[in-house]
Amino acid sequence: MLQSLTFENKNVLVTGGAGFIGSHLCERLLADGHRVVCVDNLSTGESRNIETLLQHANFRFIRLDINQPFELESFAELAAFKLPFQGIQEIYHLACPTSIRNFDQFKIQTLLSSSLGNYHVLELAKKYRARALLASSSVVYGARKNSATQVAEGDNGIVDQLSPRACYDEGKRFSETMFETYRQVHSLETRIARVFRTYGPRMPLFDGQLIPDFILNALDGKDLVLYGGRAFRTSLVFVTDVIDGLVRVMEEKEWTGPVNLGSDVDLALEDVAKMIIQMTDSTSRVVEGENFTFLSELALPRIERAKELGWFPLVRLEDGLRRTVEYMKANKILLTNV
């Protein structure tokens, strides 16, 4: 019955909604006029990311762990969303702990999020006949093979299922399998977006996430540490571009398979660090540091399929870095105290 009804304002669930990308997505959905239920256990998300949203009439935050069974209709704070009548129309599933520096701390949670968590979310989608989007990752393609490697959605990745980071890499592959299987078996409308390395305001600090640490250290005149080494290369896409891509993938009328969302421009991370030093008028130096298990060079995306949806990264690197620098400057005292 819910499938045949059309509502002026959708009820949209965002799992992992207090995270870096999730909080920006919640903002976008509210701006589009939807009612947003943000679910997060705050293991790697931050409540400050959604502080400005808490007073919004169409926003509700529920602190829960998707790895545990949950019933949305049992939460009194969601009564205004009329879930027993309207249900949930869309689910953006972003919940999965991601921490570069503290990766080992969340390994079991990552395993569970990529199995039990997916199951609970997909069962919820089945209950409400909601369209469900999985925020997958570029890690499904495996490590970069050479500097010219570009991957299309039809390429098969190679991932070591026994590696120290396999709980995440193989977990994302299995997550895609679960969403596709529910589509085949239960005729669910599912979508899969493979998100490549993303940067912007609200990235976690002191976690090995290179861009925010570069900026903070540059502002303080400290060394900018290249954890992956001077030869480390990557692509970078600004967070608002990713959000626009997620919404476009969700709104795609027909299922055409996974969609890459990322920049196809190859960057030397050392050059990005030097750009930040110049932007901040800093006297910092660029130095090499230890490498982290979770930090690896990834292939560049082919984005032809995303272009068919009208999507293309619009924010230039210089502009995105400048916006991130401005955010870090404005919030430096708060961020460093936290």
Q: pLDDT 10s digit of each residue in the chain, 338 long?
A: 344 466 778 999 999 999 999 999 999 999 999 999 999 999 988 999 999 999 999 999 999 999 999 999 999 999 999 999 999 999 999 999 877 777 788 899 999 999 999 999 999 999 999 999 999 999 999 887 766 679 999 998 888 898 888 999 999 999 999 999 999 999 999 999 999 999 999 988 777 678 999 999 999 999 998 877 788 888 999 999 999 999 999 999 999 899 999 999 999 999 999 999 999 999 999 998 766 655 677 789 999 999 999 999 999 999 999 999 999 988 876 665 55
Work out the burial of residue 166: count CB atoms within 10 Å of its CB; fewer than 13 is exposed, 13-18 middle, 19 or more buried. Answer: middle
pLDDT at residue 291 in the model:
65
Angle at 123 between CA 122 and CA 129, to 5 degrees: 85
DSSP-H helix ranges across 146-286: 166-186, 210-220, 239-251, 269-279
Q: Which domains does the chain have, with CATH numbers?
A: 9-196+238-261 (3.40.50.720), 199-234+265-297+315-337 (3.90.25.10)
pLDDT at residue 85 in the model:
95
From the candidates 92, 128, 141, 168, which is the catalytic residue? 168
pLDDT at residue 285 in the model:
95
Neighbouring C-alpha atoms within 13 Å toward the C-beta of 87: 17
pLDDT at residue 101 in the model:
72
pLDDT at residue 76 in the model:
97
Q: Which two tokens stand for residue 171?
A: 């977990």
Is residue 92 part of the annotated active site? The answer reads: no
> Of the candidates 130, 184, 103, which has an alpha carbon nearest to the alpha carbon of residue 15?
130
How, if at all, do strands 59-63 and 35-40 pair? parallel
Q: Which two tokens stand for residue 82?
A: 């009329």
Work out the burial of residue 223: count CB atoms within 10 Å of its CB; fewer than 13 is exposed, 13-18 middle, 19 or more buried. Answer: middle
Cα 60 from Cα 81, distance rounded (Å): 9
Cα 36 from Cα 30, distance rounded (Å): 7
pLDDT at residue 169 in the model:
92
pTM to 2 decimal places: 0.93
pLDDT at residue 337 in the model:
54
